[in-house]
């Protein structure tokens, strides 16, 4: 697979990464662990070198999964993980507010290193901006961890341009991770220009709209009761019905290009900037292979113009998150 560099950093990764959250968290009952180890190792064999996890996914089980699955490939893969939440004291899924205090960042780093079975965290993201801790203190703590050899690169997630600038002035950011896809285009107005100016890479999560842009979900789809899409305003049956127009558009272009809607959605993202590395998640080998196929799909200027023109006439219905989660973004 082609490689890309995240911004001006020397961090080179596969053009598509793999978001691993769904392998143990969020989308219904966790799949079989051994099966997920198989998918992770198959991803490496097929050229994926960039894997995304977080302490809060589980909590802990996702990092442990990657630690076991990827230990034979040390030095050949890049693992990104995240800090920034207070976890539930009983170990249950979810969290109890944000916490990016320096001592908490250090605590997470030490624990993540053990679970991931690595000597240094390749890319350490602040999962969400914590307004109770000056971002300069957060960046300064990660800078110390980099100087100590425990972390290699600093990242942030869902941060606003002004916050990115303040953090970057203390410890240069390698990447920002935020949601971005054909149905979530908020980063285009201010975030992407800021990243381009500063030389920071961009890692879109949910590049397939949490599965919606694959065309495999419609207004009648029923999710498992533990699937977090049940609480997302954009996934109400009414919103799904309204948003079907975007999937129909992808389907039309896919038919013309002899591809799938998912491949068109990912190829569109890859065509936006050479320093964008989407991280679609999957638990299925055939979906992994489908996603990888997007990296070889060329969209012409005419294709991109046609997508832009058609998409501009579609209004996406529903907020990304419930209000209490949405307010943690863009700050």
pLDDT of residue 165: 98
Listed residue (44, 8, 2, 42) closest to 298, CA to CA: 2
pLDDT of residue 94: 86
Domain ranges of the chain: 3-208+269-297
Pairing outcome for strands 154-157 and 123-126: parallel
pLDDT average, residue stretch 128-150: 98
Inform me whether the pLDDT recorded for 150 exceeds 90. Answer: yes
pLDDT of residue 313: 94
pLDDT of residue 203: 99
Per residue, what are the HEC states of 25-88?
Answer: CCECCCCCHHHHHHHHHHHHHCCCCEEECCCCCCCCHHHHHHHHHHHHHCCCCEEEEEECEEEC
Q: What is the mean pLDDT of the chain?
A: 97
pLDDT average, residue stretch 76-97: 94
Tell me how far apart the alpha carbons of residues 227 and 205 are, in angstroms, rounded to a whole number.
17
Report phi then psi at 199, rounded to 5. Answer: 75, 40
More confident residue, 68 or 29: 68
pLDDT of residue 114: 98
Residue % of the chain over a pLDDT of 70: 100
Pairing outcome for strands 3-5 and 12-14: antiparallel
pLDDT band for position 257 (cuts 50, 70, 90): very high
Q: Which residues are catalytic?
A: 57
Q: Specify the CATH number of the domain 3-208+269-297.
A: 3.20.20.100
- Least confidently predicted of 82-96, 108-122, 130-144: 82-96
pLDDT average, residue stretch 17-31: 94
pLDDT of residue 324: 93
283: left (phi over 0), alpha (psi -120 to 50) or beta: alpha
Q: Are residues 51 and 16 in contact, defined by beta-carbon separation less than 8 angstroms?
A: no
pLDDT of residue 249: 95
pLDDT average, residue stretch 244-261: 96
pLDDT average, residue stretch 119-136: 98
Read off the pTM: 0.98
């Amino acid at each position: 697979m082609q490689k890309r560099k995240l911004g001006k950093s020397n961090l080179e990764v596969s053009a598509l990464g793999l978001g691993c959250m769904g392998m143990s968290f969020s989308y219904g009952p966790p799949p079989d662990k051994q099966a997920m180890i198989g998918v992770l190792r198959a991803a490496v064999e097929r050229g994926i070198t960039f894997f995304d996890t977080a302490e809060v996914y589980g909590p802990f089980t996702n990092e442990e999964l990657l630690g076991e699955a990827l230990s034979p490939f040390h030095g050949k893969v890049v693992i990104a993980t995240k800090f920034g939440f207070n976890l539930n004291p009983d170990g249950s899924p979810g969290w109890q507010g944000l916490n990016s205090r320096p001592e908490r960042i250090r605590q997470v780093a030490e624990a993540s290193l053990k679970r991931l079975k690595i000597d240094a965290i390749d890319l350490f993201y602040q999962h969400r901006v914590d307004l109770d801790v000056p971002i300069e203190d957060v960046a300064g703590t990660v800078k110390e961890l980099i100087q100590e050899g425990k972390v290699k690169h600093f990242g942030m997630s869902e941060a606003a341009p002004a916050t990115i600038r303040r953090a970057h002035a203390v410890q240069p950011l390698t990447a920002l991770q935020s949601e971005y896809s054909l149905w979530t285009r908020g980063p285009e107005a201010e975030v992407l220009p800021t990243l381009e100016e500063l030389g920071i890479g961009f890692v879109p999560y949910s590049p397939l709209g949490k599965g919606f842009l694959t065309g495999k979900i419609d207004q009648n789809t029923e999710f498992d009761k533990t699937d977090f899409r049940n609480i997302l305003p954009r996934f109400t049956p009414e919103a799904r019905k309204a948003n079907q127009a975007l999937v129909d558009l992808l389907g039309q272009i896919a038919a013309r290009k002899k591809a799938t809607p998912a491949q068109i959605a990912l190829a569109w993202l890859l065509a936006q900037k050479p320093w964008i590395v989407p991280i679609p998640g999957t638990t299925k080998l055939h979906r992994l292979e489908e996603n990888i196929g997007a990296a070889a799909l060329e969209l012409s200027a005419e294709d991109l113009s046609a997508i832009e023109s058609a998409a501009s006439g579609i209004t996406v219905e529903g907020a990304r998150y419930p209000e209490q989660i949405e307010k943690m973004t863009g700050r």
